[in-house]
Amino acid sequence: MATLGADLIRRGSPERIAIEAVPAAAALLPDIEAANRGLIESQPITNAAVAKLTAQLHADDVVHDELVHAMFGRLESERRFAQADDERAKYTQLRDRLFPTGVAVVNLSWTEQGGEAKLRAGRVTESDERLLAKLKIHDGTTLLDRYRALQQVATTIDANEKSRAAMVAETITGSSTVRARNQWIRVVNALAMVLAATGTDEAPILGRVRALEARAEGRAAPSEPEAPGVEPIEPVTPAPVEPSAD
């Protein structure tokens, strides 16, 4: 349907030329273009798209969990190696602000991990970040770099999980697709009425659209309902034109 809509709006196409020849019909071109964009943008989300995002979430979750375990283990080792009580307390407090429930944070849902990242950012102080920056890693980075990576991946997981949930909901309901199709039907009906009122043959303009609708109706089960709140497209018979009196 979106392809046929493109035929109506593509400059130089026979359908558009025929529309432009009728001023009242040409005035509907902005509405036709908008309805066609709606059809394109509301194409149903495929299971493959959901699966791809789910795979990315799993991959990011592995990174998240590895960072948690590695950071917790490093801070715990620093705490145990500390000789002075105040030094040991410093690492204990930092560890507990980062991971108040220990490594159990890895068992949270993806959305909860994102929420924990926000809470963690509020708990960690500038002094904590300076201490993290002093803890070097063999590759030249610091524990502060890994903390920032943890925050980033947790935030990404949260955002992607929300996107995935929305995609799944849209796959189930198809609400945006229905709305876009309804708007397209309204616009085509309006165009058909204008063509009929002006005594213009609609076949050169809407012939392919009508054929597609007829095929779609032929494939549909007899009990299949129409899109809610919208009448099906019916061919409009042009009103007879009375000969002018000389």
Q: Is 136 helix (H, G, I), strand (E, B) or coil?
A: strand
- Identify whether residues 130 and 157 lie together within a single domain: yes
Query: Can you list the pairs that 112-116 forms with residues at least 24 positions away whose Cβ atoms lie under 8 Å?
Result: 113/61, 113/64, 113/154, 113/157, 113/158, 114/154, 114/155, 114/157, 114/158, 114/159, 114/161, 115/158, 116/154
Task: Say if 90 falls within a structural domain.
Answer: yes
Using the 3D structure, point to which of 172, 201, 236 is the last residue of a domain: 172
Residue 244 lies in a domain: no
* Residues 212-243 as b or e (16 or more Cβ within 10 Å = b): ebeeeeeeeeeeeeeeeebeebeebeeeeeee
Are residue 116 and residue 155 in the same domain, yes or no?
Answer: yes
Answer yes or no: is 241 within a domain: no
Task: Answer yes or no: do 55 and 84 share one domain.
Answer: yes
Same structural domain for residues 114 and 189? Answer: no
Same domain, 60 and 135: yes
Same domain? For 129 and 150 the reply is yes
Confidence grade of residue 41 (pLDDT, cut at 50, 70, 90)? low
Q: Which two tokens stand for residue 30?
A: 């902005």
Which structural domain, as residue segments, surrounds residue 156? 47-172
C-alpha to C-alpha distance for 143 and 134, rounded to whole angstroms: 8
Asked if residue 231 belongs to a domain, the reply is: no
Whether 212 and 4 have beta carbons less than 8 Å apart is answered as yes
Instruction: Give the least confident one: 21-25, 47-51, 144-148, 176-180.
Output: 176-180
Residue 53 sits in the same domain as residue 162? yes
Query: Percentage of the chain surpassing pLDDT 70?
Result: 79
Tell me: pLDDT of 199 over 80: yes
- Helix axes of 47-81 and 143-173: crossing angle, nearest 10 degrees: 160
Please indicate, yes or no, if residue 233 is contained in any of the structural domains: no
Q: Could you give the CA distance from residue 116 to residue 123 in angstroms, rounded to a whole number?
A: 10
Domain count, the chain: 2
Q: How confident is the model at residue 234 (pLDDT cuts 50, 70, 90)?
A: very low
Q: What is the pLDDT of residues 88-142, one digit of tens each?
A: 999 999 999 999 999 999 988 888 998 999 999 999 999 999 999 999 999 999 9
Q: What is the pLDDT of residue 208?
A: 81
In a domain? residue 17: yes
Whether residues 38 and 79 fall in one domain: no
Among 1-10, 13-22, 225-234, which is the least confidently predicted range? Answer: 225-234
Q: What is the pLDDT of residues 107-117, one digit of tens each?
A: 888 889 989 99
pLDDT for residue 232 = 46
pTM: 0.55
The verdict on 88 and 150 lying in the same domain is: yes
Q: pLDDT by residue (tens digit) across 163-190?
A: 888 877 766 455 667 787 888 888 889 9
Mean pLDDT within 23-39: 87
The average confidence (pLDDT) of the chain is 82
- Cα→Cα distances 167→104, 228, 239, Å: 29, 22, 46
Is the domain of 203 the same as that of 142? no
187 and 104 in one domain? no
Assess if residue 224 is contained within a domain.
no
Q: Which of 138, 172, 206 is the last residue of a domain?
A: 172
Domain membership flag for residue 226:
no
Residues 40 and 69 in one domain: no
